[in-house]
Every structure is written in structure tokens, then in C-alpha cells.
Amino acid sequence: MRSILKNQMMQSPLANQSIIRPKGNRGRKSLVITLVLTSLVDAFCMLVIYLMFNISPSEQASMISKAGQLPIASHSDTLERGTVVRVEGDKYFVNEQAVAPQNLTQKFQQIKAQMGQAPDILIQADKSLNFSAFNPIILAAAQSGVHQFKFAVFHGGNGK
Amino acid sequence: MVIAQEGKKQLNFELNLLPIISVLAVCVCFLLMTAVWIPIGQVSIQQGLGETPLGQTENPPTVFAAMNANGEIVFMLKDLGPQQTREERVVVNGIAKQINWAAVQESLQSIRKTYPQIRTAIVMPNPISKYDDVIQMMDHMHRVEIADVGLSPF
């Protein structure tokens, strides 16, 4: 009397291939091709881990919510990490810390001293602001020896 | 899992990997779709800070784009070479105090066609220029393959 479990058990193709004690269909050659899935699982795991580390939507999502309406550019590069300087009207936030305009130079110099090299400034602001709001940043960065600027924009559009 | 077979307990354990692969495939698809969905990019510029030594022979051919308050754009071409006798200027008038971007694009294409050696540009906004207009100007520069774009503070 065969047990219920044995009747419902999935036949193992690997066990069927055994020469000494084949399981399942004894004496018959199984035509099932055994696919080794272990390496496929490893590849998928590495892919998932790589994508999780390289794509950080939380940082970019906060940029969308806080920046207001970013300008649109058709020729833009992939967003990279950098020292985020957010402009809200006449207020400046460097790495989410409020900084007075006259202290921007000092702040950039501190960051430069901590990093050991000139940081890349990523400027994030609403598109309706006047350029006069950005002038203190550019001048402070120039005084601090920072020469790489990036402006956060939305991809796409054919421009104006 | 112990498989009872003809009175002998087998200690082989086989894990069904198909559900694991399905879950991982869903995770991969989700991450790929969210990566494409985020539309934020960056426009990069590089500012010179007087690092140029005094002994440098010549400046590269450069187009300066002055953005005036009434939507007027003035392109000034400098350092085109010994054949340049005077400063070349191209004026693009605005429409209703707004920048005429179609005319700006045409002018830039014409400048690049006439002077293909120009690879550097400096954008000079005025204090009341909109941030969006400044970005658009830099974007138009990149469209005509002017790779080195700088921004001049006032």
C-alpha cells in the first residue's frame, strides 16, 4: 500500500539518474533533462544586490519633493552623488543643514577639508528662482576652490 | 524533509528553486522599472579658477552668451584665431520680453557651422534671469555639441 505522500511526491530527476539505487522509475531511462538552477539563483542574487546598491530612489525622491519644480533639460547626464546645495528663496541648505549666505565659503572649505579634495556641488532649486539666488553659491565655491558644479534637472523634453 | 520509501528513511533534501528564481526575477524587474521611472539628471559645468598659468599661449575659441533682461541674447565670439580682426556678435531679440529659443537654437547652429572649432561657451546671466532660462541656455549649448560650458557670476 503506497502512502499518500509517496503518490504525491514529486519525482526527483537527479535521484532518477542514480545508477546504484535509482528512485522512481526503476529500470527505465528518464528523458528528463536535469537543469542545475543553483548558478542561476546566484546570478539573480548578484543582480538584485547590484541594483539595490546602485539605484537609490529614496535620495532622488526626496529631491523631487523638496526642490519644487526642477528645470527640464534634454541633454542631461545621469545623476551622481555630490554635496547637495538646496536653494529655497533666500535660504540655503548644504547637505540639509541651513547655512547663511555669508557662511557658504566657510562651509565649503569645511567640506573640502573633510573630504580631502574639492567636492562636487549639486545645486537643486525651483526653476522659477532668479539667478541672483545662485550667485552667492558660485562665488563661495570659487573662493573655496570648488570648480565642479552640477544642476539637478528633469530628463527629457525637447526643450523650448 | 524525510521521504519514507520502502521502510528506509532517506535523508536527501531537495529544495525547489523555481519559486526562489521567480521572486528574484520580480525583484530585478521592479528595480529596473523604478530606475527608469526616476527622471532626475544633472547638467554639469566646470569653472576655471585662475588655474591657467601665465605662460599659456592662447585661449580656446569661445562663445559668450550674455542674457539681457528684456529676453535679448547676445552671442560674442572671441579667440577665433589670428584671422579674427574684430569681435563677432550675434544678437537674438526676445519676444514679449521672453527669450526666443527657436532663434537661439538657429543662431547657435549657424555659429557652430561657421566656426566648428568652437567647443567652449560661457553663459553670462543677469541677476533677474530665470534659473530655468539659464539651464535652457546651457542645454542648447550642449545640443550643438559645445561640450565645455561655463557659468559666469555677476
**pLDDT tens per residue, range A64-106:** 556 578 888 888 887 777 888 988 888 899 988 899 988 999 9
Residue B124 pLDDT level (bands cut at 50, 70, 90): very high
Q: Which pLDDT band, with edges at 50, 70 and 90, does B61 fall under?
A: confident
Q: How far is CA A105 from CA A99, A144, B125, in A?
A: 10, 6, 22
Q: How far is CA B18 from CA A43, A46, B26, in A?
A: 14, 17, 12
Please give the pLDDT value at position B2: 45
Residues of chain B with C-beta less than 8 angstroms from the C-beta of A9? 3
**With a CB-CB cutoff of 8 Å, which residues 72-91 of chain A face chain B?**
72-80
CB contact under 8 A, A130 and B127: yes
Q: What is the pLDDT of residue A13?
A: 63
> Which long-range contacts (C-beta less than 8 Å, at least 24 apart) are formed by A38-42?
A38/B17, A40/B17, A40/B21, A41/B17, A41/B20, A41/B21, A41/B24
The model's confidence at residue B109, banded by pLDDT at 50, 70 and 90, is very high
d(CA B116, CA B111): 8
Whether B132 sits inside 8 A of A71 (CB atoms) is yes
Give pLDDT tens digits for A7-55.
545 566 666 667 777 666 555 555 666 777 889 999 999 999 998 887 7
Name which of A82, A149, A75 is nearest B41 in CA terms. A75
Using the predicted structure, report yes or no on whether residue B87 has a pLDDT greater than 50: yes
**B8 against A112, higher pLDDT:** A112
Q: Average pLDDT for residues B95-112, to the nearest whole number? A: 92
The pLDDT of residue B50: 47
pLDDT exceeds cutoff 80 at B49: no
Q: Identify the band that residue A62 occupies on the pLDDT scale cut at 50, 70 and 90.
A: low
pLDDT at position A14: 67
Residue A154: the pLDDT is: 85
B94 vs B78: CA distance, rounded Å = 23
CB-CB under 8 Å, B49 with A145: yes
Query: Comparing B15-19, B26-30, B61-65, B137-141, which segment has the lowest mean pLDDT?
Result: B15-19
Q: Spell out which residues of chain B touch residue A38, defining contact as CB-CB under 8 Å.
A: 17
